Structure 1
Amino acid sequence: MNQQTTIVGDLVEVLKKSKWLLVPFILLGGLAAYYVSTTFIQPTYEASTQVLLVTEQEGDRVDSSEVLSSLSLVNTYRVIMKSPAILNEVKERVPNAPDPISDALTVESEEESQVINVVITHTDAAAAAETANVISEVFADEIPDLMSIDNVRILSPAEVPLTPISPNVLVNTLIGMFVGLFVGGLIGLLRHVFDKRIQNEQEAERLLDLPVIGSVPVIERRDMKSKKIKTNTPKGKGEVPHVPEKKERQSS
């Protein structure tokens, strides 16, 4: 347990010492992700419309058998909606529709529901909404001929989406910052691993298993320079050297 605590403590110390390296990498990672997301990744929009399978009513009461019949047809209608019989006509009516439409089309339905959701994803917001609406219109027009049942109604038409569903610039920027943090931390850790110098007294005691009885202080180079002493002398006069007095030899 103590060894694990020591390793974690050393790792934290390494990250603290490498903060001058982490901050630039975090900023560069976030800026790079933001730039790529806003410049190189084309935004994608999603438009959806809903189609309702109606049931016949007997007076004010809905026939339960008709409801079950409609529910059983939902899966069949989903397949028909993605068939060439529908999509080829949609392509003729919407020239700028995604190509192929089947890759951009998603047909969904909730369990025990008579509502079918038609979803189109495209880089053109207006084309996505138009394609979704035309699919539901063509489907409603063709079902009576294909199934001999006129029980499809458009519940809500698609509107032009204002905001893209991708890319998510905020999430991508955060991911870029995390990658920058990881790269900066990895570089700092490698520098620490390959640096064989003893950094402090505690590390020396731990590595050598000996007590530290003294240390040499760090002396900066500027502190080692000799300082010149200036003397104030009158103009025109030089410095008079000091000559020590000679002691007279005592006569014997």
Structure 2
Amino acid sequence: MEETISLQELFQTLKKRMWLILSLTILATLISGVVSFFFITPIYQASTQLLVSQEKSEAPMINVGEIQTNLQLIKTYNEIIKSSAILDIVRQELALETLTTEALNSKITVSAVGESQVLTITAQDPNQFVARDIANTTASVFQREIMDIMNVDNVSILSQAKATDTQAPIKPNKMLNMAIALVVGLMLGVGLAFLLEYLDNTLKTEQEVESILGIPVIGAISSMEKKEQDKMDKMQQKLQAEGEIRNG
């Protein structure tokens, strides 16, 4: 006979293990909050925008319009901005001798929306003012050096990155981390509750005996609380003492 579980039994299991589910949910949320607030270093972000115009230098060495499309030129600029030819100069101007070119590269991202002629240089750092300086310096160095690298003068700065003391970090997202931890803790708690219920093969109630064995329960020995048991023991001792006095 195939065994089925009713919805009522599921709710009874959740109710019986509610302390476990709540404990895991609260614990996971607290751990996530403590890690997010006290152990993860906040990261700030700053962005500056460049406009790649259609104007090119009149020098005959290179004709960008004939060599590649504007989109290809944007992709080329993406690579040039993050190259050592640009970042080494940025490191020198910002006096970032302790920061390697590879480490500086990992702090910078360059993006363009679709086939837009606008490039966005974004820098991330634990210090919002350092992130601002990296973004702005990278943009200005690229604007200056691209004239020598590709013999073109078609880059202008649309907007510069800014930073304030009250600027909020972009990560960690503390509330999001705690919300995810709450959901994960709840799922773990529910899963563990059903696992413990599955592994528990003891019979605790008359209903369980009738359901599993398929026979009616004729009688049951009720459990006695500790206080009642102590009271019964004292009464029995008193009766024994009185009996011994009568017999004596």
Q: Indicate the TM-score class for this superposition, using the shorter chain for normalisation.
A: 0.7 to 0.9
Calculate the TM-score normalised by the size of structure 1.
0.75
Work out which of the two has the higher radius of gyration on C-alpha atoms and give 1 or 2. 1
- The 3-state SS of whatever aligns with 1:43 is coil
1:43 paired to 2:42:
yes
Task: Map residues 21-40 of structure 1 onto 2, 5 A cutoff.
Answer: 21-40=20-39
Q: Please list, as runs of the form range in 1=range in 2, the aligned pairs for 1:76-225 lying within 5 A after superposition.
A: 76-96=76-96, 99=100, 100-160=103-163, 162-224=167-229, 225=231
Percent of pairs with identical residues: 36
State the AA in 1 paired with 2:132: A
Instruction: Label 1:198 to 1:55 Cα distance change in 2 as closer, same or farther (>3 A).
Output: same
Higher helix share goes to which structure? Answer: 2
Q: 1:237 — aligned with what?
A: none
Distance in 2 separating the partners of 1:14 and 1:51: 61
Counterpart of 1:240 in structure 2 is: none
2 CA distance for matches of 1:195 and 1:39?
A: 40
How far apart in 2 are the matches of 1:41 and 1:121? 15
Question: Which amino acid in 2 is paired with 1:23?
Answer: L
Q: Is the 8 A contact 1:48 1:158 kept in 2?
A: yes
Which segment drifts farther, 78-87 or 173-182? 173-182
Q: List per-residue Cα deviations over 1:211-243 (Å, max 9, x = no partner).
A: 334444444343452587xxxxxxxxxxxxxxx
- CA 187–54 in structure 1, closer or farther in 2 if over 3 Å, else same: closer
Query: Residues 24 and 186 of structure 2 are in contact (CA less than 8 Å); yes or no, is this contact kept in structure 1?
Result: yes
Range 44-53 or range 175-184, more displaced: 175-184
1:33-74 CA-partner distances (Å, limit 9, x unpaired): 1111111111111111110012249xxxxxxx79x8544411
Long gaps (5+) in structure 1: 58-64, 229-252
Which string of whole-angstrom CA distances, capped at 9 and with x for unpartnered residues, describes residues 85-119 of structure 1?
Answer: 11100000113496421111111112221111111
Whether the 8 Å contact between 1:54 and 1:70 is mirrored in structure 2 is no
**TM-fit CA distance, 1:181:** 3.0
1: CA distance, partners of 2:190 / 2:95: 52
* RMSD of aligned Cα (Å): 2.9
Q: Which moved more, 1:90-99 or 1:105-114?
A: 90-99
For 1:166, the aligned partner's letter is K
What amino acid does structure 1 have at the position aligned with 2:12? Answer: E
Unmatched 5+ residue regions in structure 2? 57-64, 236-248
**3-state secondary structure, aligned to 1:106:** strand
